Structures are given as structure tokens and as C-alpha cells.
């Protein structure tokens, strides 16, 4: 049966309310038992006969030229089967390619996998060894002699933009709204979104707040380290087993880096222990392939340590942000300016573009300007992290919004409702909103039992904040096979991170009016279905779910066609209701029909989709905290998140996404940061000193699912995975102000930073005459 392509702009029935049989229930996920019993196979669990073990040698310096690499001693060590450097990679072209997860310069991509001329961060890969066991591989790596010429490290926005700043990338020229500079620069690009009359808006303002903020580099913190096993066969066929958010993204990158035909490379995705955007870029995958080839076509597994993960993958950008907002006497925003300086890490590509869209998105503003700057520094190349760029800028904007509301003596929720964006309002870059649920999330918080319960006690404070994320559609492919016993095998290629096998299967079951248990969803390799974008952008339940809906429609239609032939009626006369087909006095339940229609010919369906009309998500959140005034330590007392989820297909997994985003956001707000010494060495590449929250650091996170169905999805689905991480840092900062009177202008609000800010405030208070 021919596949159909569903164009997302086509009108789909906007149901999304009631009367569902499967949607909105909470069935068990197909991968659940294997995961809780430890049987699930993750990337590092892959085993095969003759497996060799790889080890990657990494740069001890933040910034240096590589004069030479001598691998002879490593090669001579017994047990070593291959040693590779960037010389073993094909010459990379200095050109930009779109590989499905954003455009990237192939030279940068290749150099990040194995450094060629320069190392650009502490932990940058420079060589790799394959040996008969991991200990020999590690020992051999220690025998590789790299001659470095040290260069001064460039660690921050200010370092990078200084007049005499050392240049990281000799070929990089500033792209300023399409105009390319002539001199090498660490400023990769500049853009500006403008509308209305900014000067007039500020001139007419009753009150203006203008603040600058700093946020630090943070990591996604997925629990499973990166790992890949590759087999490069003697005939040139390549297989990679890895844990990734996108098997096709791995295929695309590896084929470009190694210059191999797409048909020769198969990527087999294992189970994945988290990604959050950080498992899209390839790191060890191409290295494992070239080690396998050089080692005589034996399989090679390369597993990153936790320290490698922190030092060389992820993270997301640190940033300097200025936000200036003016309001009129009624509290309406009259003008807003945001300047965003984001650290891209070693190669261009910070999420500053997405951050600009997030910045003022929750508010209806006629006069605004948002400027973005993408800047390279000697830190790991930044990767996507859950609503990339959003948390940084929302911390800044929501702090200023809170200060404005306070100065206006307005309730911060009412301020957000008064200024809230709704249908037909515009995002900072001009994109017009369809039906959105931002104001509904603010109202849900305002009316919640949490917000309505007064918070009492010294050094306690409550903060609220809102946030936006655009979500994504992307391309999805899936096939469904109808079995003669009435069960369905659903093959899809979207990595299942948050229970999407279940949420996609549920949509197929709903579409076919069968039980969830009749559908078995599996995540398949890149040879089994056609192209499928990454699990990212909160797209999977939306877009791959749409493909599953189409599969259900197709299978039902073909069943009707075949039954019509059988019953000698017109296909249009066959109806299907409550699991039974009927026409002209004949009727047959689904399970029986499944066997009958396949006596002559098997039945399968395929669907590819690329929906353009994906609904954005909004969230408003409320936190209560207590600050220990003697130590600066924050205890989170209570947390409630309201989020517009469109329609919750599997409510438990939607709640899980909401709670997970908040947990990460609180970690980012309170303790997480990359700490470097003056020479650019990363000091805290361990989970001991890179402080993500533990179970003891968070209360139960209460969830309010606000369902404003997305009009362009048959079940009203909106992406739910990302927007939840956008507001927490702003909410924490606003609560800290209520608790202590200190407005924090930097993240993290760690005990050390908060204590220092409280001391500075005390010192300032003592200087005010007459103030006791």
C-alpha cells in the first residue's frame, strides 16, 4: 500500500476534548518492565564477539595549537589494535550543511570530534586508541605525545569581545544580519528583531526598569554517558549501535564526516538514559567507526566517563543579558529591550536565536527590540538543552517583570494577565500566534490552592514566573502492520525518552478504535523506516503521533475497501463504529475483520509527515522557599507548575515532563555551574561538584495540566517536554527577593552567591544615614 504524506497545513479535525477511549488513560509503557528489571540494553551494554575497547585522549589545555602528535609508543604497546587522530578523518570542507537538526559547518563538526590544528577547550578530543581491553586502551592513550603551543584562554563574553582578544577560529567572520565582516572575530553573528517605536515607548513610560544579568554554563545532566559501538566491515558496510535522540541525525553527521554513502551506514538505536538535547551531536560515534576500520574491521566500543561527558559534551551557554522594560501608569508594557550575549562554546551555534523568541514571548508588546550575539569561547561546543536558551533569558525578563509589578504595587499574576499575549499577538520576531494558552496558565496559578494560601514566616518568599517555548514539528516516518489476530505492530524511529512509544501507540489505538494493548510500538533502526527527525523540540508525541493517527486512518480505510469487495458493496457504504464494521446487513468485529481482509494479501501502511503548524507551549509556575540567613542556603518548600499541554495523551508522562523540567530548572537556578580556573581548566567535571539536585533537594512538584487543544492536531496535542524548564530560575529569583529583599542578578543563586549578595545589601543599608 502506498504511503501518504500528510502536509501539516491541511485542515484536520480539531477534536481534542472528550469522548476518547484510550487518550487520557495511563497504560503501562512497552519498555517499562525491562527498565525496572535492569534488562533494557543501553549504549554501553552492547556486547559482541571480538569487541575492542576504545579510549579517547583529551586536551589538558583550554586553548592551544597542536604542533605534532606522536602515536608510536601507543601503537607499540601490546594489546593495542589501532590509534587514530584527526589525520584519519577525511579532509573536512569549510561549508555549512543542514543535517536536519540545524545548519552546521562540516569543518567545525569534524574538528569537534577530533581536533586538527587547535584544541579549543579543556577536554577536546585529540586522539583515540582501540585495544583488547579498556585498561590497555587508557594506558596507551597516556603514551601518546602531543606537542602543544599554549594560547591564552578566552572564557567569557567579555574576554571574547575585548579589543585584543585572542581569536579562536581564524576563518570566522561576523555575520551581521547577512553582512559578513572582513576581519577574524570571536563574534560569530549578530541579529536584531525590532518593531514599533522603542524610543517613544520608553519616553512615554511611567516607570522603567533596566537591569543586567549573568548566567553560567550548565550541563543537561543525562544519567547515561555517551557510548557507541561501531563495526566497519571489510566490504565498507558500517553499523553503529548508540544511544541518541536521533538515529538519522547520527547517520547524517557520520556520513558527512566520514564521506560514506548513506546506504552503507545503519544506525541502531539502543535505549537511552536521557538526552535533553545533548544526544544529537555525534562525539564518539565517528571515532568508533575509524577505530574499527583501522583495527582490521573488528567492532569497537567507546564509552565516555562522567568526566568526559561534562568536559566535552553538552553543555548549554552561559550568557550576559540586559533587559529594559517600561510600563505606563496602568501597568501596560509600553516598550521593551533585550540584549542577549550567548557563549556558543568552541564553535558558533549558541541558542541565542531561540532565546530571542522566548525572551518577551509571553507579553503583548507594541514597541520592542531584541538583539542577539553568538560568541565563541574556550568552552565545549554548546548543544541543545531543553528549550535551548530559554531559561537564561526568562530568568532576566521575569526578574524585571517582577520588579515592575512590585513597583506598581500590582499582584505579579495580575500584571502578567494584563500584559499577557494571546491569539493574534506576535512573538518578538513577528510570528503571529494562533490559539495559545498563556493567560490560562497564569490564571491557573493565580487560582490555585497554592497561590491562594498565604506564605508566612521570616526568610520565606514566594515567586512566580512565566515562560514560552515554540516547540517543533519536524519530519516523522512510521509503518504499521496489521496482524491477522487484530494486533498491530507499529514501527517508528523516534527515540523514546519520555514514554513516547506509549503515547504514539495510544494515538494509533484511538484512531482505530482498538485497545492500547493491541498495539505494540517499537523504535527501529535507520534501514527500517524512512527519514525521521530527532526526539527534540517537544515534537515526538505531536508529529510521530500524527503519523500514527494517519496509519490508523489508512488501515481502517483499506479494511473498509477490502470488506466492501467481500460484501459486494461500495466502500463508502461500509461503516466502522464501536469496533465493528458493517454494511448492507453484514457486520464483523475488528479482530475478525483483521483476519478476513488478509486472506489474499497482507496489509500494512506507511506514513510520512512534516507538519508546519505546531502549537507553542506556555507555562506559569509558583515556588515557595525559605532562606537560611546564616548560610544563604535555599530550601524549596512548595512548587506548582501550570502548563498548557494541548491535550495530555498519557497524563502520567505529561506530568513527568512537567516535573522533570522544573527539577532541572531548579538545579540550574540554585547550584549548577561550570567552574574554571584562570587557565581555563574545568574544575568540577564530576557529579560531586557539578551539583544537580538530589531527591532530597526537591519537594513533590505539583502539576496543573491546562488543556487548550492545539487546533492543527487531530487530538489537540502540543509539545510538552520543554517549556517547563523556562520559568524556574525566574521564579526562584523572585522568591529569593521576597524572602531576603535581594534581587539576584546572576545564576546560580548558590549559598555562596546569595550570602555574598545579602552581605552586600547589609553593607549598603549601613551606609544609608538614619537607616537602622
Q: Smaller CB distance to other proteins: residue 41 or 675?
A: 675
User: In whole angstroms, how far apart are CA 62 and each of 172, 204, 299, 341, 379?
Assistant: 19, 48, 32, 21, 7
CB of 187 to other proteins, least distance (A): 29
Phi, psi of 252 (to 5 degrees): -60, -45
Grid cell, residue 673, equals: 555551574
Q: Distance (Å, rounded) from C-alpha 35 to C-alpha 116?
A: 40
Please give the order of strands across the beta sheet that includes 519-523: 4-7, 604-610, 476-482, 488-492, 519-523
CB of 694 to other proteins, least distance (A): 5
CA separation (Å) from 671 to 99, 350, 400?
34, 22, 22
Closest CB to other proteins among residues 191, 222: 222
The distance of closest approach from Cβ of residue 683 to other proteins in the complex, given in angstroms and rounded to an integer, is 5
The least distance separating other proteins from the CB of residue 631, rounded to whole angstroms, comes to: 6
Q: Is 259 left (phi over 0), alpha (psi -120 to 50) or beta?
A: left
Query: DSSP secondary structure string, 174-231?
Result: EEETTEEEEEE-SEEEEEEEEES-HHHHHHT-SEEEEEEEEE--B----SSPPEEEEE
Tell me the closest approach of the beta carbon of residue 339 to other proteins, in angstroms: 30
Q: Of 191 and 674, which has the nearer Cβ to other proteins?
A: 674
**Interatomic CA distance for residues 592 and 588, integer angstroms:** 6
3-class DSSP state of 605: strand
Q: Kindly tell me which of 721 and 748 has the beta carbon lying closer to other proteins.
A: 748
Nearer of residues 567 and 676 to other proteins, judged by Cβ: 676
Least separation in angstroms between CB 684 and other proteins: 6
How far apart (Å, rounded) are the C-alpha atoms in residues 646 and 721? 12
Which one, 140 or 394, has the nearer CB to other proteins? 140
Helix (H) or strand (E) holding 406: helix 390-407
Q: Which residues of 686-707 are buried (b: 16+ CB within 10 A; e: fewer)?
A: ebeebbbbeeebeeebbbbbbb
Closest distance between other proteins and the C-beta of residue 450, in Å?
A: 22
Which CB sits closer to other proteins, 181 or 759? 759
Distance between alpha carbon 486 and the CA centroid of its chain, in Å? 37
Distance CA 664, CA 697 (A): 12
Cis peptide before 371 (omega within 30 of 0): no
What angle (nearest 5°) sits at the alpha carbon of residue 427, between those of residues 426 and 431? 70
Give the DSSP letter string of 420-482: B--TT-B-TT-PBP-S--HHHHHHHHHTSHHHHSPP-STTEEEEEEEEEE------EEEEEEE
Q: In this complex, which beta carbon is closest to other proteins, that of residue 221 or of residue 428?
A: 221
Could you tell me the CA-to-CA distances from 322 to 190, 246, 362, 432 in Å, in that order?
Answer: 15, 35, 18, 25
Nearer of residues 290 and 623 to other proteins, judged by Cβ: 623
- Phi then psi dihedrals of residue 406, to 5 deg: -65, -45
192 or 686: CB nearest other proteins: 686
CB of 176 to other proteins, least distance (A): 37
**Residue 670 CB, nearest approach to other proteins (Å):** 8
The least CB distance from residue 691 to other proteins, in Å, is 6
CB of 687 to other proteins, least distance (A): 8
When the beta carbons of 330 and 677 are compared against other proteins, the nearer one is 677
Query: Minimum Å distance from CB 247 to other proteins?
Result: 32
Minimum Å gap between C-beta 678 and other proteins is 12
Q: What is the DSSP letter of 272?
A: -
In the complex, the smallest distance separating the C-beta of residue 630 from other proteins, rounded to whole angstroms, is 5
- The CA-CA-CA angle for residues 193, 195, 196, to 5°, reads 155
Concatenated DSSP letters of 324-369: EEEE-TTS-EEEEEEEEEEEEESSS--THHHHHHHHTTTB--SSEE
Which lies closer to other proteins via its Cβ, residue 208 or residue 755?
A: 755
Q: Tell me whether residue 390 or residue 665 sits nearer to other proteins (CB atom).
A: 665
Burial class (CB in 10 A: 0-12, 13-18, 19+), 98: exposed
Residue 208, CA distances (Å) to 89, 334, 404, 412 in order: 55, 9, 8, 16
Which of residues 505 and 739 has its CB atom nearest to other proteins in the complex? 739
Residue 399 beta carbon to other proteins: minimum distance, rounded to whole angstroms: 22
Residue number, 222 or 542, with CB nearest to other proteins: 222
Tally Cβ neighbours within 10 Å of residue 679.
Answer: 15
- Return the number of the residue (139 or 366) whose C-beta is nearest other proteins: 139
- Per-residue burial over 283-312, b if 16 or more Cβ lie within 10 Å, else e, is bbbbbbbbbbbbbebbbbbbbbeebbbbbb
Cell of 490: 507499529
Rounded to 5°, angle at Cα 655 from 653 and 658? 110
For residue 682, what is its C-alpha cell?
574545568
Bridge partners (DSSP) of residue 676 are 682
Cα diameter, the chain: 98
Give the nearer residue to other proteins in terms of CB position, either 87 or 628: 628
Query: By C-alpha distance, which of 730, 747, 756 is closest to 217?
Result: 747
Q: How far is the CB of 228 from other proteins (least distance, A)?
A: 22
Shortest Å, Cβ 142 to other proteins = 8
Q: Which residues bind other proteins (CB under 8 A)?
A: 135, 138-139, 142, 630-631, 633, 670-671, 675, 683-684, 687-689, 691, 693-694, 696-697, 750-752, 755-756, 759
Amino acid at each position: 500500500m502506498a504511503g501518504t504524506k500528510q502536509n501539516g497545513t491541511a485542515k484536520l479535525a480539531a477534536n481534542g476534548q472528550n469522548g476518547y477511549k484510550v487518550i487520557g488513560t495511563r497504560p503501562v509503557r512497552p519498555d517499562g518492565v525491562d527498565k525496572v528489571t535492569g534488562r533494557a540494553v543501553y549504549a554501553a551494554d552492547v556486547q559482541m564477539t571480538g569487541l575492542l575497547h576504545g579510549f579517547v585522549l583529551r586536551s589538558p589545555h583550554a586553548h592551544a595549537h597542536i604542533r605534532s602528535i606522536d602515536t608510536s609508543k601507543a601503537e607499540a604497546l601490546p594489546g593495542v589494535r589501532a590509534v587514530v587522530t584527526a589525520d584519519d578523518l577525511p579532509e573536512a570542507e569549510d561549508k555549512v550543511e543542514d543535517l536536519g537538526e540545524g545548519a552546521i559547518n562540516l569543518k567545525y563538526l569534524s574538528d569537534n570530534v577530533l581536533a586538527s590544528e587547535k584544541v579549543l577547550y579543556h577536554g577536546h578530543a585529540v586522539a583515540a586508541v582501540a585495544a583488547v581491553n579498556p585498561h590497555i586502551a587508557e594506558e596507551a592513550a597516556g603514551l601518546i605525545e602531543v606537542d602543544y603551543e599554549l594560547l591564552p584562554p578566552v572564557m567569557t563574553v567579555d574576554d571574547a569581545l575585548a579589543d585584543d582578544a585572542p581569536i579562536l577560529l581564524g576563518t570566522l567572520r561576523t555575520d551581521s544580519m547577512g553582512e559578513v565582516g572582513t576581519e577574524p572575530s570571536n563574534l560569530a553573528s549578530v541579529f536584531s528583531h525590532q518593531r514599533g517605536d522603542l524610543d517613544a515607548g520608553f519616553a512615554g513610560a511611567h516607570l522603567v526598569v533596566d537591569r543586567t544579568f549573568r548566567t553560567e554554563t550548565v550541563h543537561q545532566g543525562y544519567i547515561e554517558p555517551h557510548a557507541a559501538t561501531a563495526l566497519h566491515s571489510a566490504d565498507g558496510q558500517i553499523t553503529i549501535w548508540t544511544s541518541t535522540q536521533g538515529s538519522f541525525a547520527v547517520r547524517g553527521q557520520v556520513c558527512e564526516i566520514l564521506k560514506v554513502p548513506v546506504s552503507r551506514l545503519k544506525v541502531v538505536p539502543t535505549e537511552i538514559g536521557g538526552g535533553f538535547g545533548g544526544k544529537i551531536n555525534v562525539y564518539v560515534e565517528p571515532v568508533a567507526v575509524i577505530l574499527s576500520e583501522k583495527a582490521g574491521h573488528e567492532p569497537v566500543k567507546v564509552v565516555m566517563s562522567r568526566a568526559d561527558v561534562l568536559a566535552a559534551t553538552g553543555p548549554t551557554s552561559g550568557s550576559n543579558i540586559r533587559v529594559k522594560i517600561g510600563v505606563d501608569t496602568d501597568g501596560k508594557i509600553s516598550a521593551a529591550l533585550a540584549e542577549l550575549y550567548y557563549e556558543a562554546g568552541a564553535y558558533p551555534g549558541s541558542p541565542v536565536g531561540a532565546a530571542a523568541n522566548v525572551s518577551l514571548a509571553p507579553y503583548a508588546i507594541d514597541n520592542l527590540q531584541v538583539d542577539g550575539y553568538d560568541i565563541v569561547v574556550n568552552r565545549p561546543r554548546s548543544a541543545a538543552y531543553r528549550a535551548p536558551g530559554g531559561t537564561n533569558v526568562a530568568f532576566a525578563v521575569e526578574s524585571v517583570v517582577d520588579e515592575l509589578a512590585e513597583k506598581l504595587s500590582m499582584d505579579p499574576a495580575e500584571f502578567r494577565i494584563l500584559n499577557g499575549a494571546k491569539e493574534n499577538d506576535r512573538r518578538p520576531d513577528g510570528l503571529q500566534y494562533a490559539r495559545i494558552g498563556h493567560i490560562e496558565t497564569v490564571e491557573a496559578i493565580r487560582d490555585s490552592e497554592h497561590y491562594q494560601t498565604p506564605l508566612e514566616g521570616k526568610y520565606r518568599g514566594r515567586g512566580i514566573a512565566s515562560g514560552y517555548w515554540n516547540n517543533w514539528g519536524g519530519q516523522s516516518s512510521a509503518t504499521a502492520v496489521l496482524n491477522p489476530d487484530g494486533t498491530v505492530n507499529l514501527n517508528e524511529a523516534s527515540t523514546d525518552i519520555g514514554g513516547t512509544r506509549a503515547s504514539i501507540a495510544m494515538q494509533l489505538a484511538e484512531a482505530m478504535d482498538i485497545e492500547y494493548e493491541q498495539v505494540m510500538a517499537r523504535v527501529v533502526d535507520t534501514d527500517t523506516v524512512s527519514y525521521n527527525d530527532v526526539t527534540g523540540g517537544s515534537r515526538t508525541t505531536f508529529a510521530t503521533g500524527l503519523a500514527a493517527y494517519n496509519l490508523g486512518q489508512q488501515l481502517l480505510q483499506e479494511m473498509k475497501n477490502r470488506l466492501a469487495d467481500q460484501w459486494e458493496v461500495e466502500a463508502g457504504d461500509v461503516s466502522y463504529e464501536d469496533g465493528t464494521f458493517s454494511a448492507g446487513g453484514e457486520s464483523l468485529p475488528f479482530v475478525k475483520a483483521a483476519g478476513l481482509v488478509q486472506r489474499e494479501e497482507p496489509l500494512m501502511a506507511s506514513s510520512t509527515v512534516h507538519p508546519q503548524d505546531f502549537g507553542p507551549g506556555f507555562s506559569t509556575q509558583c515556588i515557595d522557599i525559605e532562606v537560611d540567613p546564616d548560610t544563604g542556603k535555599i530550601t524549596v518548600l512548595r512548587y506548582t507548575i501550570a502548563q498548557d499541554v494541548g491535550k495530555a495523551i498519557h497524563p502520567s508522562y505529561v506530568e513527568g515532563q512537567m516535573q522533570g523540567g522544573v527539577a532541572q530548572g531548579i538545579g540550574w537556578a540554585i547550584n549548577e555551574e561550570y567552574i574554571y580556573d584562570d587557565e581555563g581548566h574545568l574544575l568540577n567535571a564530576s557529579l560531586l561538584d557539578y551539583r544537580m539536585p538530589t531527591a532530597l533537594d526537591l519537594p513533590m512538584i505539583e502539576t496543573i495540566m491546562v488543556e487548550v487543544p492545539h487546533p492543527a492536531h487531530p487530538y489537540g496535542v502540543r509539545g510538552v517536554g520543554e517549556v517547563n524548564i523556562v520559568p524556574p530560575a525566574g521564579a526562584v529569583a523572585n522568591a529569593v527577593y521576597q524572602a531576603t529583599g535581594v534581587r539576584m542578578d546572576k545564576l546560580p543563586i548558590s549559598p555562596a552567591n546569595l550570602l555574598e549578595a545579602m552581605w552586600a545589601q547589609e553593607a549598603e543599608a549601613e551606609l544609608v544615614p538614619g537607616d537602622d
